[in-house]
Amino acid sequence: MYFVSEEILQLIVDETNKYGYNKLVNTSGGDKPSARMSKWDNITVQTLKVFLGMLMWQGLMKLPHVRDYWSTNRLFSNEVSKEMSRNKFELIMCMLHFGDNDTQEGDLLYKIQHLLEKLIHVFQNTLTPAEDFCVDESNIPWRGRLSFRQYIPNKKHKYGIKLFKLCVQGGYTWNLKVYTGRDETRVGKRDVMVLSTEHNDDMVEIARRGGTIVWPFEARVLT
């Protein structure tokens, strides 16, 4: 949780509460909210911390179904699930939001853009990079519906979301960019865009030729 600052937590709380409120009062066709939805109550930062902690714990303690974490079966019994009821957990999961749905403005990442910017800000303030950088591609496994989901047949996880990352020695991600598709203003070019070091806040073009990275503004080639 080191990189998840109080500011980031408050952003998630605010957007989740806003979405939950809108969901509660704007039911389609004037229908009454479901019994579970009618129990929605604004969350606090502390509630969110408990929720995120349970998510991380569930990632370490694998069970067949989410509901099994609250099972009374002795095989699945645990103390962590006592921190939050299953209904509360599932309701927060349904309402969890990181951005305002009313501010799309054609940005495919509008749901996570503010969160991503704040995370990158924390990444860059945590570590002062040395001279050596590495531009790397990463693929987040994802098989859901998404317009910019990538299919890469030679990868272990063939479907996913492609990231371009600017890493320093030791593998630390100093900056990243989510690939949302080819930019129409750069059709036919294989360049990718990553942020430069803190000495230049503008975007720096990096030409990619196979496994070689060419910095056009410097006489430097990374392989």
Pick the residue with more confidence: 125 or 186? 125
Quick: pLDDT tens for 108-120.
888 888 999 999 9
**Nearest of 124, 34, 132 to residue 87 by alpha carbon:** 34
Query: For residue 213, what are the β-bridge partners?
Result: 208, 222
Domain spans, the chain: 6-95, 127-208
What confidence tens digit (pLDDT) does each residue in 188-203 have?
Answer: 334 344 444 443 444 3
Question: In angstroms, rounded to a whole number, what is the distance separating the alpha carbons of residues 53 and 81?
Answer: 11
**DSSP states of 73-130 as a string?**
STTT--SGGGGS-HHHHHHHHHH--SS-TT--TT-TTTTTHHHHHHHHHHHHHH----
Q: Where are the alpha helices (DSSP H) in 127-170?
A: none
Question: Do 23 and 40 form a contact (C-beta atoms < 8 A)?
Answer: yes
Lowest mean pLDDT among 21-30, 40-49, 152-161, 168-177: 21-30
- pLDDT for 211-222, tens place per residue? 555 554 444 444
More confident residue, 44 or 150: 44
Angle between helices 45-60 and 6-25 (to 10 degrees): 100
Q: What contacts 151, CB < 8 A, 6 or more positions away?
A: 158, 159
pLDDT digit string (tens) for 56-87?
999 999 999 999 999 988 888 888 889 999 99
pLDDT, tens digit, 9 for 90 and up, residues 32-47: 666 777 889 999 999 9
